[in-house]
Amino acid sequence: MQAHLAFTGYLGRRLHLGVCGSVAAYKSLELLRMLTDTGLAVSATLTASAERFVSRLGFEALGAAPVYGPMFDPAQGPFAHLEPGQVAQAMLVAPATANTLARLAHGLADDQLSSQALAFPGPLVLAPAMNPRLWDAPATRANCDILRARGAVFAGPACGEMACGEQGGGRLAPLEEIFTAALRAVTVQDLAGVDVLLTLGPTREYFDCVRHWSNPSTGVMGAALAVAAWLRGARVHAVCGPVSLWLPPGVHRVDVTSAREMHEAALDLFAAAQWACCTAAVADFRPEPYGPGKFKKEAGGLAVTFTPNPDILADMGRRRAPGQRLCGFAAEAADLEAQARGKLRRKNLDLIIANDVTAPGCGFAAPTNGVLALDAQGRLERWPVLPKTEVAWRIWDWMLALSA
């Protein structure tokens, strides 16, 4: 699991997973692992055709409980078709075949999965997988329109090469996409209606056409904040320096390279944001370009002059409107608390998260962080080294408390 997606706070919540008869059914075993790793309890139902591709035993072995098979199996009791709706907060069907989408759209209830879906009162997430001609068929299109109009959320499908060798739409979406859509469906939407702006990753400052000045930031902390806010229902705008991290398609992502590009993109979005959180490791200085083209090493040494870059967070602090909330980060090597206090005041922030980049488990690229959090009202906490996903969750809790 990528570090910015490794959320673990779902103990006590439950998801019901429906699996249909597609060759992609083997991927739902991996999906089950990803879901249970969060602490979620997961039950599952395999259709008769799913059992041609994967077995109930496999799902049981990977922690799904209970695992339902066909209706009228005496071992499952007379009310198996009602149970998921009584105990699970959301239902996911992955893979969802054309046949099952049709049954769900039209309210059929003649097998276990469709009966459970019909009786399910909570959110429904569908991850279709089928041949492109089935996906593009007018009947499937119409069935999806019916399901969407009723509030079902679709994860995918993706485009690409199919098991049958054809190209087109109908591939099961990437597992991250299905996983995050399912998590969002079981997450309390306490940030619904909030527009959140993030900056994340490093910036690159080119001094000829191939060489740049930068830092080792990977953007994991900012990406964990983006995903956490999106899972909790926020509208998320992420201005990303050069990072290779996946973000859910529901996150509005703007990719930039240099500090000046990040400044322009972030300040454009800032006016409409209620909360902004700057996690980017922006290069404070940029080298003056050597000139057009590439500097040739045969020319001998290269003297570089550095010019200060704009401070994005400080500019937000100057422009903020009443009610806009601002959070910044401080990566320090010494005097954590004093540095955090200084930056909180100078940049006009509500909250600052400071970490000692030299401490174990806290540097660039680590999946964990140990931070000191300090707000403008003087509340200070030192958190132990935690997964960045957990740090992200706590930061939004804090911002929510500041806005209450």
What ranges make up the beta strands (E) of 175-296? 195-200, 205-206, 212-213, 235-240, 252-255, 275-278, 285-287
- From candidates 38, 199, 217, 274, binder to ligand C5P by CB under 6 A: 199
Q: Please give the Cα distance from 280 to 198 (Å, whole number).
A: 8
> Of 124, 197, 243, 313, which lies in the binding site for ligand C5P, with binding defined by CB under 6 A?
313
**264 makes contact with ligand C5P (CB under 6 A):** no
241 touching ligand C5P, by CB under 6 A: no
Q: Compute the distance between CA of residue 379 and CA of residue 273 in angstroms, rounded to an integer.
A: 24
Catalytic one of 164, 277, 278, 327? 164
Which residue in 280, 340, 351, 399 binds ligand C5P (CB under 6 A)?
280
Answer yes or no: 20 catalytic.
no
Smallest CA-to-CA distance from 78 within 44, 35, 115, 114 is with 115
Is residue 259 part of the contact set for ligand C5P (CB under 6 A)? Answer: yes
Choice from 212, 286, 343, 388 touching ligand C5P (CB under 6 A): 343
Q: How far is CA 126 from CA 18, 140, 333, in A?
A: 9, 13, 47
The stretch among 155-163, 240-248, 304-312, 372-380 that binds ligand C5P (CB under 6 A) is 304-312
CB of 400 to ligand C5P, least distance (A): 19
Please report whether residue 228 would count as binding ligand C5P according to CB under 6 A.
Answer: no
Q: By CB under 6 A, is residue 387 in contact with ligand C5P?
A: no
Q: Does 282 bind ligand C5P (CB under 6 A)?
A: yes
255: helix, strand or coil: strand
Which phi and psi angles does 160 have, rounded to 5°?
155, -165
d(CA 353, CA 198): 14
Of 312, 344, 386, 391, the one binding ligand C5P by CB under 6 A: 312
- Taking the alpha carbons at both ends of the chain, their separation in whole angstroms is 34
What backbone phi and psi angles, to 5 degrees, belong to 293? 80, -155
Q: How far is the CB of 280 from ligand C5P (least distance, A)?
A: 4
Residues engaged in binding ligand C5P (CB under 6 A):
199, 259, 278-280, 282, 284, 309, 311-313, 328-330, 343
| Residues annotated as catalytic (active site), given as ranges | 164
